[in-house]
Structure 1
Amino acid sequence: MALSHGSAFAQATPAGEIPQQKVNDALRAKLPEEFKTSNKLTSVNSGSFPPYEIVTDTRTMTGASADLTDAIGQLLGVKIEHATVNGLSALLSGIKSGRYQFSMGPVGDFKSRQEANDFVDWVQEYVVFAVQKGNPKHINALDDACGTRIAVQSGGSAEKVIKAQAEKCAADGKPALEVQSYADQPTSILAVRSKRADAFFSSQAPLTYFVQQANGELELAGVGKPNGFDDLFQGAVTPKDSPLSEVLLAAVKELMKNGTYATIMKKWGLENNMISEPGINLAKK
């Protein structure tokens, strides 16, 4: 297991009392028997993805996803433990193989990924750039990235999009786009802060967090632009056709109904990423 660099970007946990959940017997009854017997599930992450996942060691996590898994565990009457692996590919393969039961994520939901896993979508995301203050390279949309050095998280959807853009830059005879792939979010943002990269291309929610932690060194760019993506849903990942998918979906719906979901999202500054209706495999592309 790999340790994340999340502690380098740690902050005090935001204020916000999360209501304690009572065990929902109907939901617990839907759990596969092995988990009712063990009273334990393991959720895997690929390192810090703040403000959703802030990993300080391989089994300790804070953030919106941690609060949500705690609440879901209370509803189901089970303890949800956290495990960390090195990168998104290891996360997806670990779930597919059955080593881990699920990942709360949120992980990007795409049709290609639905072939091997299911997604219980509970947020909507947008993909933008974190750049140095003043945006010296004038990166205001995906097409502006030619001739720049762009950091991305390895194995993520943003990496695929930025690599396609690099090919487009070359085909159009424009200056080369250098793609720098890193194992996790903190290392990627560090490349921008240390000026080894001109921008970090990733989800808006974690980039907003990193910009807030950068003491005025960084800003967001490309906000409000599609940047190579259609509607982007993200959520928990489960093995394909696992009964756990419907259990998690029902649990998220219950937390939406009783107001806990909104409390958690607002606590972590994620109001703009809230989804009105969760679902399984919402992505159409």
Structure 2
Amino acid sequence: MNDAPRFSTPAPAPAPGHGSEADRTVGDAARLLGVSVRALHHWDTIGLLTPSGRSWSGYRLYSDADLDRAQQVLVYRETGMGLAAIGELLDGAPATAAEHLMEQRRLLSERISRLTRMVRVIDTMMEAETMGNHMSGAERAQAWHGQWSEEYTAEAEERWGGTEDWVESERRKAAMTPDDWARAADEAKRLEADLADAMRRGVAPGSQEANALAERHREELNRWIAMTVPRQVLIARGYVSDQRFTAYYDAKGKGLAAWLKDIIDASALAQGVDPGSAAWE
């Protein structure tokens, strides 16, 4: 069946910009692409996919080139890319079809790997539920003596959710029993008390005792995520740049947040890591 619009009377030859017999109406294009007419209208409105032709009645007409671009949009959207980013990519430096395919394959492979990791987390959580290990946010807060913050958890998920580190952290937490949570809370509390005591006694950054405390701190973070020294350095920066963390540590000893950062930086230097050029590895 001819997909071109039919006229009850002979139509004049198309004028420039008014499409050809091979062009599709918006309804036909939507059916071919498997999207809604509303979606195509929206893409047109935001400049992502503007049909190259119009019928004599003013209706949108999509050429083969338009449909090719629509297919690119659909594939990139499956990678998790937003429409604005897709538009910038397609309107940027010219790329061949082969180059687009290679990039799409790379992005889709990354997405598949990320989703596979998330499935493993869900499997772990399902196993924990079956064994009765699940703990609600309130139960975690109770185990942590009220210090477990779902606000921080939500903020971290918004920033890091879907990354390999986030997935691994969720897998570890899902596998923890209530006893594990209680033990983690007690060990964190003892570490914070020892840090505050050492600061009050004037333990100098770079000393053997300070370096041992910095290593205990790194091991504590390693409970939740693989923690290298450069990562620890970057996290410690947040203790002085984020007022919430500064207030948390300084409540245990005035100046503790800055002192903790200093002993972590000094320990990193002793291990050959320059705090100024640390990168998340």
TM-score range, shorter chain: under 0.3
Greater RCO, CA 8 A, separation 6+: 1
Larger radius of gyration: 2
TM superposition score normalised by structure 1? 0.22
TM superposition score normalised by structure 2? 0.22
The structure that is helix-richer by fraction is 2
